[in-house]
Structure 1
Amino acid sequence: MTKTARIMTRTGSLVAAAAVTALAFPAQAHAAAVACGGGVSTQNIGARGCISAERWQDGGGIYWRDITAHALLTNSRSRASWVEYEAYSQAGGDWVKMGSGRTIVERRSTIGPIAIASKTRVCDTVKVTIRVHVRPAGGAWSNWSSAATSQCQT
């Protein structure tokens, strides 16, 4: 096979793969963007609290938003570590636990944003804040990392 034929075959393969990917993962018109807040860390495990809000309308004309808490986790240790995380939400009142989880983060790597939990609420102008903290296996909990949204749209 000549060099030109190899290049054309490789280019055709890339175009075909892109087309298959586009068909397999259609774009969502209302896909929510993820916004992350500041970072916190404990024992070389870092976290950023993130939030997304997706607006939708039910059949009765009422607008809702699905709020999802996320965590972006970084392990700067020289070995993989199990990391626990929790997310809480606040919308003008007390903090309410949304969810928690546990995952392994490979050495010197970052994973996420990991969706922790979702909550659906009526669209209003109330600012919704989530906060996330992490704990490496056998370690202490970090401080809180917060993220917020006050808009009722994607």
Structure 2
Amino acid sequence: MILDRFRLDDNVALVTGGTRGIGLAIAKALGEAGARVVVAGRTMKDDARQELAGLAFDFHAAEMLDEKAPDRLVADTLAKAGRLDILVNSAGIAIHGDSGDYPEDIWRQTMVINVDAVFRCCRAALAPMRRQGGGAILNVGSISG
């Protein structure tokens, strides 16, 4: 069957922003394809846990404004699962309204989460992925943020 070629059995995926929205949908799809999924987010509500029920997943609380969070996420994923095959950077925030009205601190938070944290997650994942012979990184963006 063609879908057998897309199985992710024995793969480990880390999904930032994996507790809601697009990140949660991606985490669920990866889990349904057989991957063990580490979902990272500020919190994980019961409805998100129910969405992933029956799949191999772990939750890791993470605040992507913390510049050390990406290194901790990757280290904890490796400690729990022994490898990292897939990184999905889905954490992000959006600010709406006239850009001339954005307070500087809100703009900075947006850039830290949407740009800096993505870079730091990729950088943290590269060494273990290279050691194991490869991996995949997916960076998710949105017209909304």
User: TM-score under structure 2 normalisation?
Assistant: 0.26
User: TM-score under structure 1 normalisation?
Assistant: 0.25
Larger radius of gyration: 1
The structure in which a higher percent of residues are helix is 2
